[in-house]
């Protein structure tokens, strides 16, 4: 047994990894092609769209609906629950796992990030990075143009106001908005 982890194993474990690793770049390019094919399908060809999105994502069902265009890095690290809906322009950088619960709605232009980079320019230039998972509970509504940063957990039954930047966890049964997003009301 090889005690050395691959760069992919390091990435998924939240450890520092080489983002220019050949295997990772091959996976990224493969999924870019799949996303391009998905985005070029006729918007009215619901069966083909659903079949392809289930090929791209790690978990989705026959009721998953993602309006085109859709972009992601690896795809297989994204798990969506039952009856997931995302509007135009969803972008997910899924270097770590992104888990989204049942009955979630995502507005247009939402970005979900798991990739982390050093703020030190010399370290950043090495192309070493790490990733933190994002978890979104059940019955969550993410408004348009929201950005969700690495490591965030959004609890069940939350609403995130349009244009918010979610930098920290949001507890269940909350309405949060702003930059950074803060709870403005409990429901």
112 close to 134: Cβ distance less than 8 angstroms = yes
**Residue 77 appears among annotated catalytic residues:** no
Pairing of strands 115-116, 128-131: antiparallel
Could you write out the three-class secondary structure of 103-132?
Answer: CCEECCCCEEECEECCCCHHHHCCCEEEEC
Task: State phi, psi for 53 to the nearest 5 degrees.
Answer: -65, -35
Give me the sheet containing 17-18, strands edge to edge.
Answer: 17-18, 128-131, 115-116
CA distance 161 to 175: 7
Tell me how far apart the alpha carbons of residues 49 and 68 are, in angstroms, rounded to a whole number: 9
State how far the Cα of 149 lies from the Cα of 73, in Å rounded to an integer: 15
Candidate list 77, 111, 117, 168, residue with the active-site label:
117
Active-site residue numbers?
117
């Amino acid at each position: 047994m090889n005690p050395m982890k691959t760069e992919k194993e390091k990435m998924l474990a939240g450890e520092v990894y080489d983002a220019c690793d050949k295997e990772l770049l091959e996976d990224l390019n493969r999924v870019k092609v799949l996303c391009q094919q998905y985005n070029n399908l006729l918007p009215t060809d619901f069966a083909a769209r659903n079949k392809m999105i289930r090929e791209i994502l790690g978990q989705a069902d026959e009721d998953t609906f993602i309006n085109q265009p859709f972009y992601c890095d690896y795809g297989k690290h994204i798990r969506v629950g039952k009856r997931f809906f995302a509007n135009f322009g969803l972008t997910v950088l899924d270097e770590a796992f992104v888990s989204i619960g049942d009955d979630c709605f995502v507005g247009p232009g939402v970005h979900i990030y798991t990739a982390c980079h050093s703020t030190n320019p010399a370290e950043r230039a090495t192309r070493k990075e790490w990733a933190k998972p994002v978890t979104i509970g059940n019955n969550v509504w993410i408004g348009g143009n929201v950005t969700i940063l690495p490591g965030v957990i959004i609890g069940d039954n939350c609403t995130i106001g349009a244009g918010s930047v979610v930098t920290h966890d949001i507890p269940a049964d909350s309405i949060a908005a702003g930059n950074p997003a803060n709870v403005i009301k409990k429901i």
